[in-house]
Amino acid sequence: MISQLECARILAIEMRGGISHWNFMRAVLLPLTERGHQVTVFTPFLDGHRENYTEIDLSKIIPLKVGLMVKDSLVYNGPFHLMLHIPEMTRAHCNLLFDDTRIQNILKNHGRFDIVLLEPMASECGSYFALKLKIPLVYVIPTPMITYMEMEFTGHLSNPTVISNIMAKTATPKSFNERLSNAVLLFFSIFTMKFLNSKLSHANPKSFDVENPIKPTILFVNTHTITEPSRPYSPNVVQLGGIHLKPAGKIPEVRTDLIK
């Protein structure tokens, strides 16, 4: 346990209404509160207040992606459909957050926080929190590295002939066809992100479009060398794969008296 003078006041924001996204964010926040840091989190998934942990409900603000029908999830079917959908969804979530009066009060009053943690998705609009509050930014990514945003986040572009795109079907491209398709997928996704984000920002400019986004100090990424092929990362990328997984429990005993 750290002393009160050493503890950080952390603002955390879950920008996605998916329970798998929240499981990873929650796993990052839990040890911070246990160490004595004070966490204030905006989330659509409530666990209940506890020591050093304050929740602000976003369940009526951020659309929940829980228990979807198959037809509603087909928008995520394949990289091309996903690329055309996720920029608009990310921007819509940013608009909803920055229009929220509770968020506006924090930004207007320069809330007393030392660091902000959030999930970036397919845009850097969330970095506006850190920019306005003048505090360091930490990205919490519940997937392996988002390759089509890696250049924006770290300034580093992974070589598509050896590093698979996050949406690729192969863990490591080996044949010429796999490397070529992986390179095409990477550059298509990067171009699509830039084009659609620019189009959306010009169509309806917001305050976070005026300022240049700041870059994250650290990126916590849900990956690990035992689940993903070895690859180079920039020094500020920290692999936390498996942090959200609970220890395996015992297999329950079978009641033989119920077996006929």
> Distance between CA atoms of 33 and 10, rounded to whole angstroms?
10
> Distance between CA atoms of 238 and 225, rounded to whole angstroms?
12
pLDDT tens, position by position, 14-24 = 988 888 899 99
Q: Which of 4-18, 167-181, 198-212, 240-254 has the lowest mean pLDDT?
A: 240-254
Cα 141 to the chain's mean position, in Å? 4
> Distance between CA atoms of 220 and 238, rounded to whole angstroms?
5
Q: Is residue 193 part of a domain?
A: yes
pLDDT tens, position by position, 102-119 = 999 999 887 789 999 999
Q: Which of 58-67, 135-144, 180-189 has the lowest mean pLDDT?
A: 58-67
pLDDT band at 239 (very low <50, low <70, confident <90, very high): very high
Selection from 62-76, 100-114, 131-145, 246-260 with the highest mean pLDDT: 131-145
Backbone conformation region of residue 110, classed left if phi is above 0, alpha if psi is from -120 to 50, else beta: left
Number of domains in the chain: 1
The share of the chain scoring above pLDDT 70, in percent, equals: 92
Dihedral, 93, 95, 99, 104 alpha carbons, nearest 10: 90
Q: Choose among 14, 3, 77: nearest CA to 37.
A: 3
> Distance between CA atoms of 171 and 228, rounded to whole angstroms?
7
Q: Is residue 258 part of a domain?
A: no
Q: Is residue 3 part of a domain?
A: no
Q: Is residue 21 part of a domain?
A: yes
DSSP β-bridge partners for residue 57: 43
Q: Which domain holds residue 127?
A: 9-243
Q: Is residue 183 part of a domain?
A: yes
> Distance between CA atoms of 56 and 43, rounded to whole angstroms?
6
Q: Are strands 9-13 and 38-43 parallel, antiparallel or unpaired?
A: parallel
Residue 259 has pLDDT above 60, yes or no: no
Residue 89 has pLDDT above 80, yes or no: yes
DSSP β-bridge partners for residue 75: none
Q: Is residue 250 part of a domain?
A: no
* Contact present, 180 and 161 (Cβ < 8 Å): no
The pLDDT score that the predictor gives to residue 73 is 63
Instruction: Walk across the sheet containing 237-239 and list its strands.
Output: 53-57, 38-43, 9-13, 115-118, 137-141, 218-221, 237-239
Q: Is residue 2 part of a domain?
A: no
Q: Is residue 100 part of a domain?
A: yes
The two structure tokens encoding residue 44:
């659509």
Residue 5 has pLDDT above 70, yes or no: no
Q: Choose among 4, 2, 29: nearest CA to 138.
A: 29
Which CATH number covers residue 62? 3.40.50.2000
> Distance between CA atoms of 101 and 139, rounded to whole angstroms?
23
